């Protein structure tokens, strides 16, 4: 697994589904979807007071990364894209 410092310097080449499974649990899906626990977490945030006002992917990424500081940009972007589409 690529380390955080390495990802910052050389670019994040890791599958975001694996990083999300590491952070939130669950299995890595075969399809291009985040793990279900990560989707549930994101949906809960988007249903919350701060999340209801979110309309853009950038705002969702900001919300997710503020709520979970270990969440990198690539997995946060992947999660935001899918969570907003499932809304």
> Residues 16-48: pLDDT tens digits?
999 999 999 999 998 899 999 999 999 999 999
Confidence at residue 61, expressed as pLDDT on a 0 to 100 scale: 98
Confidence at residue 6, expressed as pLDDT on a 0 to 100 scale: 61
The vertex-49 CA angle with 24 and 26, nearest 5°, equals 10
pLDDT tens digits, 39-76: 999 999 999 999 999 999 999 999 999 999 999 999 99
> Which pLDDT band, with edges at 50, 70 and 90, does 11 fall under?
low
b/e map of 8-47 (b: 16 or more CB within 10 Å)?
eeeebebebbebbbbbbebeeeeeeebbeebbebbeebbe
Residue 36 near residue 25 (C-beta atoms within 8 A): no
Place of tokens 């900001």: 62
Sequence ranges of the domains in the chain: 15-86
């Amino acid at each position: 697994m690529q380390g955080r410092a390495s990802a910052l310097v050389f670019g994040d080449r890791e599958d975001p589904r694996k990083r999300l499974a590491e952070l939130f649990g669950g299995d890595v899906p075969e399809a291009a979807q985040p793990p279900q626990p990560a989707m549930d977490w994101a949906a809960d945030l988007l249903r919350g007071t701060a999340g209801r006002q979110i309309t853009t992917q950038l705002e969702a990424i900001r919300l997710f990364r503020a709520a979970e500081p270990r969440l990198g940009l690539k997995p946060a972007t992947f999660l935001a894209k899918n969570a907003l589409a499932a809304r």
